[in-house]
Amino acid sequence: MQISLQQQVALVTGASSGLGEGAARALAAAGAAVVVNYNSHAEPAEKLVEEIRAAGGQAVAIGADVSQEEQVEKLFAQTLEHFGHLDILVANSGLQKDAPLVDMSLADWNTVINVNLTGQFLCARAALRQFISQGMRPGVSRAMGKIIHMSSVHQLIPWAGHANYAASKGGVDLLMRSIAQEVGEQHIRVNSIAPGAIRTAINQQAMQGDGEAKMLKLIPYGRVGEAEDVANAVVWLASDLSDYVHGTTLFIDGGMSLYPEFRGNG
């Protein structure tokens, strides 16, 4: 079945690399006009925009730090200046600042919470305000708007040495479900994706040496994920094919959240 997102505008945060880049590319291939948000590196974002345009799509790169209220407001205002409306938000930006809890600095705690959780709040709020002010767009989508939060298997699985990250993603889960409960009646769909181990910059170090082999022990399906695995789910969640999917987290993890340590009777 072919998914078409023609006439829709998608904003993807943190789209200059990894899962955001993959999502932006896939949304554009499905026909959406795409805003490629980046934080500090404009060049890869501009390169992706060129690639999308060369393939006949529409895209623009806009810089903004998602943890800064004013910058988020500007990002959404610039999105409207370029494309006139907004239909899909993929709140993807995220980072890790790992340390055992006893060594974790308040600065690293705050950075992770500010980007991974407050950034999701600021972007979701701006998207909701825009969806509500523009109203339904009959013939374009059955929903008034769609929000996809990028969470992690660590919204469920505790993660020693990464307490700030796990706390931020646990927060994303209840943020997403609370928003979904709040705006469902307005036909705004809100869901999360919880990736497991997907090959991107965020876990490049963890995959080095025997890292990948160790990781595979945690993945019943027997392979590390690729950005495309997540991008395909983003496109589906953004489309009317998932119109009755609301307030849910889709785990894309090759079974990592199935407690694989219990294979062989634990």
**Annotation says 221 is catalytic:** no
66 binding ligand NAD? (CB under 6 A):
yes
| Nearest distance from C-beta of residue 56 to ligand NAD, angstroms | 25
Among 8, 11, 17, 189, binds ligand NAD (CB under 6 A): 17
When the beta carbons of 57 and 119 are compared against ligand NAD, the nearer one is 119
From 114, 111, 80, select the one nearest 98 (Cα to Cα): 111
Query: Which residues, numbered 200-229, are part of the site for ligand NAD (CB under 6 A)?
Result: 200-203
| Nearest distance from C-beta of residue 54 to ligand NAD, angstroms | 21
E strand intervals along 127-217 = 145-150, 188-195
**Catalytic residue selected from 38, 165, 221, 244:** 165
When the beta carbons of 105 and 204 are compared against ligand NAD, the nearer one is 204
Q: Residue 137 has which token pair? A: 């767009």
Give yes or no for a contact between 184 and 128, defined as CB atoms under 8 angstroms apart.
Answer: no
Q: Rounded distance, CA 187 to CA 252, Å?
A: 25
| Per-residue mark of binding to ligand NAD, 143-172 (x: CB under 6 A) | -------x-x--------------------
Widest CA span of the chain, in angstroms?
Answer: 58
| Residue in the block written with tokens 């500010």 | 114
13 binding ligand NAD? (CB under 6 A):
yes
Angstrom distances, CA of residue 260 to CA of 16, 101, 135, 160, 229: 33, 25, 45, 17, 20
Positions touching ligand NAD (CB under 6 A) are 13-14, 16-20, 38-39, 65-67, 92-95, 115, 150, 152, 195, 197-198, 200-203
